[in-house]
Amino acid sequence: MPKVMRPKDATSGVSKTDPYAGAQARKGSRAAAAHNIFKMNTDLGQHILKNPGVAQAIVDKAELKQSDVVLEIGPGTGNLTARILEKAKKVIAIEHDPRMAAEVTKRFQGTPLGKKLELILGDAIKMPEYPYFDVCISNTPYQISSPLTFKLLATSPAPRSCVLMFQREFAMRLFAKPGEKLYSRLSVNAQMWSKVDHVMKVGKNNFNPPPQVESNVVRIRPKNPRPQVSYDEWDGLLRICFVRKNRVLRSGFLGTSSVMDMIESNYRTFCAQNEIPLDDGPSDNADVAMEEDVDAGADDDAGIMDVDDDEDVPAFFKEEADKRAKKLAGNPNRKKKGKVYELVRAKVKKVLEDDTQLADKRARLCDEGDFLKLLYAFNQEGIHFT
């Protein structure tokens, strides 16, 4: 007698003789549907840390106290948040995606840990200032790595430490030393204001979905007491020096009209605030030529490329460059200047060639001491960068 085959379950796609396989299939179907509803937005850097061991190691390295207020940037679904809440007094989580914010709220709502969580929906970079916090922990969206680092370095009062996950190349920029390929404005700033330690490497398979690059966790401990230097003034100088880090400083300052225009404008402001009279008449030498490099790449070493992002270039330079291009379309290398310009130019030349003797040194080879020497000498001449 032929064997009669039982009909298959239309919902599961498997035989009734295998009910467990059917349950497994339905479970997989529901999981797939849930995944489709809550798809990660990789454009916002949403790569959720799924390895609980890595999450716990990050929290352990933060060395949290029971009295600590922790700032978390981009909590995602709350995998890292849950471990922070267990050890800290309070967690202030800033989330840009409303879906993620709802997920974190739902996860901790009605639990004892939920009472210690404050969720802020918004852009962490555009916030004027952060609420007070002792420690920052973040699986940082790669797109905001640079601005977030600068924002944290400028925070006052400074946090005790920041344990941050970064793209590997960006993390290496934090450690880079003068002369290395990745040495940049970020390197100088990080090492000026803090002590940076490498914590661990994190492979891409520890995330969902996996990113295209490997990651590193670093710990940034701001110096206490902070260096007695204006952050804005210091960063303003570095912005100028690292616009083209492979140029010699003489070319970066004296050979760049937008830089000289900015310095002249700042010097006028300084003189007005301190009631210092200026002779604002026309120059005796009617046409003062800029010592501007025709080939910007002439000072570059072969094989060494700038790694600073576009955001490292001050908007002032771009605006001034556009104005200058329109104004000097007929004769781009010459421009009429007044006596104030000549005075400022002489001061800059004195600082670079006489006071610091750094005129022929490239920014990528200067260390923290060189930049401090430059800043002090410029300030002594009444030249400021804010």
The string of DSSP codes covering 59-113 is HHHTT--TT-EEEEE--TTSHHHHHHHHHSSEEEEEES-HHHHHHHHHHHTTSTG
Q: What totals of helices (H) and strands (E) does the chain contain, helices first?
A: 13, 11
User: Does pLDDT of 20 surpass 70?
Assistant: no
User: Does pLDDT of 93 surpass 70?
Assistant: yes
Predicted pLDDT of residue 280: 80
Q: At 263, which helix (H) or strand (E)?
A: helix 257-273
Dump pLDDT digits (tens) for 240-275.
Answer: 999 988 999 999 999 988 999 999 999 999 999 999
User: Does pLDDT of 35 surpass 60?
Assistant: no
Whole-angstrom distance, CA of residue 164 vs CA of residue 334: 48
Residue 166, classed as helix, strand or coil, is strand
Q: Please give the single-letter amino acid code of residue 97.
A: D
Whole-angstrom distance, CA of residue 155 vs CA of residue 71: 12
The pLDDT confidence band at residue 40, using thresholds 50, 70 and 90, is: low
Q: What is the pLDDT averaged over residues 201-230?
A: 92
Nearest of 248, 342, 235 to residue 298 by alpha carbon = 248
- Best-predicted range by mean pLDDT among 291-305, 323-337, 367-381? 367-381
The pLDDT confidence band at residue 11, using thresholds 50, 70 and 90, is: very low
Q: What is the pLDDT averaged over residues 106-135?
A: 95
The pLDDT confidence band at residue 121, using thresholds 50, 70 and 90, is: very high
All structural domains of the chain: 44-222 (3.40.50.150), 242-380 (no CATH)
Predicted pLDDT of residue 209: 87
Residue predicted with more confidence, 22 or 46: 46
Structure-block tokens of residue 62: 């933060």
59 near 87, Cβ under 8 Å?
yes
Residue predicted with more confidence, 380 or 302: 380
Predicted pLDDT of residue 370: 97
Predicted pLDDT of residue 92: 98
Peptide bond into 157 cis (omega under 30): yes
Predicted pLDDT of residue 372: 97
Annotated binding site for S-adenosyl-L-methionine: 47, 49, 74, 95, 123, 139
Structure-block tokens of residue 56: 């716990």
User: Does pLDDT of 381 surpass 60?
Assistant: yes
Predicted pLDDT of residue 281: 80
Whole-angstrom distance, CA of residue 8 vs CA of residue 305: 64
Dump pLDDT digits (tens) for 232-243.
Answer: 999 999 999 999
The pLDDT confidence band at residue 329, using thresholds 50, 70 and 90, is: very low
Q: What is the pLDDT averaged over residues 141-151?
A: 92
User: Does pLDDT of 324 surpass 90?
Assistant: no
Question: Average pLDDT over the chain, rounded to whole?
Answer: 82
Q: What is the pLDDT averaged over residues 97-117?
A: 94
Annotated binding site: 47, 49, 74, 95, 123, 139
User: Does pLDDT of 172 surpass 90?
Assistant: yes
Predicted pLDDT of residue 22: 53
Residue predicted with more confidence, 115 or 322: 115
Dump pLDDT digits (tens) for 49-85.
Answer: 999 999 999 999 999 999 999 999 999 899 999 999 9
Q: What is the pLDDT averaged over residues 228-234?
A: 93
Q: What is the pLDDT averaged over residues 347-375?
A: 96
What DSSP state is assigned to residue 23?
Answer: H
Predicted pLDDT of residue 198: 94
Predicted pLDDT of residue 290: 46
Predicted pLDDT of residue 323: 53
User: Does pLDDT of 227 surpass 50?
Assistant: yes
